[in-house]
């Protein structure tokens, strides 16, 4: 049986209250302020789960949906106001989200509006009910950098986000990223047909109501669309059959019949550029437009906690022999995918790194970067934490992309010259041992979020 802990997710004992941080003081800093007021000041709660032996990570279930209101304020202007909660008409509900990340004192949240709106205040076309407040583990610019790479490699959708300060029930909660959630929205998010699917290769399948797997591998998939209760037995049978064919296709060279080559090559190349260590929990979202002749497509990259941690190899999603599809694709007797990957590199590499460098320079001198720096100081004080400055983040990222371009270009060109059908897999020191999210080696009894053998999990001090 899984071990279950029921507790209030934001217990007062876990919070370091900062009475001096007021809404007025936050307005003056410059970042948008998300102001959440729940009915009667109720805090979201959940059950904390430790999995059965052999399953990765920790997770939560039965997260309470707490009703209330939410505003987004920039300076003296309110760019979004949900109004008071009236079911189906106005207001919102807020609940805990995440898996490992929900075990730390600073919690991530999901907001569901009662009426569609663009919480980022940009355009009516971006209206949706579902939004997320993501916390920054390091802190870093990882989400910003990862989503920019997602955009530059040309995946089908790039979520929008903004750095924000969060005030909840009059209490300052720190710096968050207010972000679009991964879901079907034909106007502005993932555009799949009503008869199509969005699903995820999910390491936390054991905590979901519905999942499926192919008959050839142990990869489990869970649904983002349609909702689990709307999936028919016929659809489930179809997907089991289809994904079995996908799993087998690298070995008989038929994968072009089933997968969209460009999106698969772009997704793994994006993670190779970022040097992602976490392959098992890197949120592999896929879309399929119907149940007939459409191909499987990679959707968008998500979860960038472990980027820039593999400097002398391809990403773990690329090299691991278990888990994702990519190692079998690169090893297939049909080298078409390897050539598609190299072609994508040749298309993107002449401009991508220059664009990334300019993007970072522009952010460095922006008002947003200055406001983020001031906000981090408040966040560190509130949570009694320390971390790098925004300037240090930017310099680290600039160094990464300069060295990464050189490494990838040199490695891929050498492999082409040597006639290697698949990008080489080099044994790397970073694939051994236990690391924190700063890339620092840690002992076996270290607490917090740990990366080991390409998997990210939390080792908490359980109550």
Which of 153, 171, 107, 173 has the alpha carbon at shortest distance from 262?
153
Which of 168, 179, 178, 177 has the alpha carbon at shortest distance from 382?
168
Which of 190, 202, 254 has the alpha carbon at shortest distance from 228?
202
Do the bridges between strand 197-201 and strand 284-288 make them parallel or antiparallel, or are there none, so unpaired? antiparallel
Cis ω before 139 (30° cut-off from 0): yes
Regions of the chain short of the pLDDT cut 50 = 1-18, 422-431, 437-438, 454-455, 457-458, 462-463
For position 426, what pLDDT does the model report? Answer: 42
Cis ω before 226 (30° cut-off from 0): yes
CA gap 208, 49 in Å, rounded: 12
For position 50, what pLDDT does the model report? Answer: 73
- In sequence order, the 6+-apart residues with CB closer than 8 A to the CB of 184 are 190, 191, 192, 196, 198, 224, 225
For residues 350 and 271, the answer to whether their CB atoms sit within 8 Å is: no
As a residue count, the chain comes to 463
Within 30-175, where are the H helices? 142-152
For position 424, what pLDDT does the model report? Answer: 46
HSE of 200 in the Cβ direction (CA atoms, 13 Å)?
A: 24
For position 6, what pLDDT does the model report? Answer: 41
Structure token pair of residue 405: 């371009």
Give the predicted TM-score (pTM) of the model: 0.88
Radius of gyration of the chain (CA): 22
Do the bridges between strand 161-168 and strand 33-38 make them parallel or antiparallel, or are there none, so unpaired? parallel
For residues 343 and 313, the answer to whether their CB atoms sit within 8 Å is: no
């Amino acid at each position: 049986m899984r071990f279950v802990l029921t507790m209030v997710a934001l217990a007062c004992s876990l919070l370091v209250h900062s009475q001096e941080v007021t809404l007025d003081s936050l307005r003056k800093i410059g970042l948008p302020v998300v102001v959440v007021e729940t009915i009667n000041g109720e805090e979201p709660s959940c059950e904390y789960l430790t999995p059965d032996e052999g399953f990765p990570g920790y997770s939560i279930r039965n997260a309470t949906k707490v009703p209330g209101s939410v505003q987004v304020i920039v300076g003296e202007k309110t760019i979004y106001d949900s109004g008071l909660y009236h079911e189906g008409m106005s207001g919102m509900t807020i609940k805990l989200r995440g898996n490992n990340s929900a075990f730390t004192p600073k919690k991530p949240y999901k907001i569901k509006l009662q009426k569609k709106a663009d919480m980022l205040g940009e355009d009516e076309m971006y209206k949706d009910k579902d939004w997320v407040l993501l916390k920054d583990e390091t802190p870093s610019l990882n989400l910003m950098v990862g989503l920019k790479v997602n955009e530059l490699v040309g995946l089908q959708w790039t979520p929008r986000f903004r750095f924000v300060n969060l005030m909840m029930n009059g209490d300052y909660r720190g710096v968050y990223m207010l972000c679009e959630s991964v879901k079907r929205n034909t106007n502005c998010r993932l555009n799949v047909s009503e008869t199509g699917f969005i699903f995820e290769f999910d390491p936390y399948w054991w905590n979901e109501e519905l999942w499926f797997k192919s008959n050839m591998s142990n990869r489990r998939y869970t649904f983002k669309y349609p909702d689990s209760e709307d999936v028919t037995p016929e659809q489930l049978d179809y997907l089991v059959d289809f994904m079995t064919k996908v799993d087998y296709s690298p070995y008989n060279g038929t994968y072009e019949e089933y997968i969209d080559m460009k999106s698969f090559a772009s997704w793994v190349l994006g993670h190779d550029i970022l040097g992602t260590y976490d392959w098992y929990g890197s949120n592999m979202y896929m879309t399929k437009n119907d149940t007939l002749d459409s191909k499987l497509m990679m959707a968008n990259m998500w979860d960038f906690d472990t980027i820039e941690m593999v400097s002398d190899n391809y990403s773990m999603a690329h090299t691991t022999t278990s888990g994702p599809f990519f190692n079998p694709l690169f090893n297939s007797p049909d080298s078409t995918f390897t050539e598609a990957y190299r072609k994508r590199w040749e298309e993107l590499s002449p401009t991508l790194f220059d664009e990334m460098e300019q993007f970072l320079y522009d952010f460095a001198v922006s008002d947003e970067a200055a406001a983020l720096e001031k906000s981090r100081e408040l966040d560190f004080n509130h949570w009694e934490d320390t971390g790098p400055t925004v300037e240090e983040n930017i310099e680290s990222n600039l160094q990464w992309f300069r060295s990464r371009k050189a490494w990838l270009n040199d490695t891929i060109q050498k492999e082409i010259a040597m006639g290697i059908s698949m990008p080489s897999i080099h044994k790397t020191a970073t694939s051994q041992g236990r690391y924190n999210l700063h890339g620092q080696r840690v002992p076996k009894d270290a607490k917090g979020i740990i990366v080991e053998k390409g998997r990210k999990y939390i080792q908490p001090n359980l109550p």
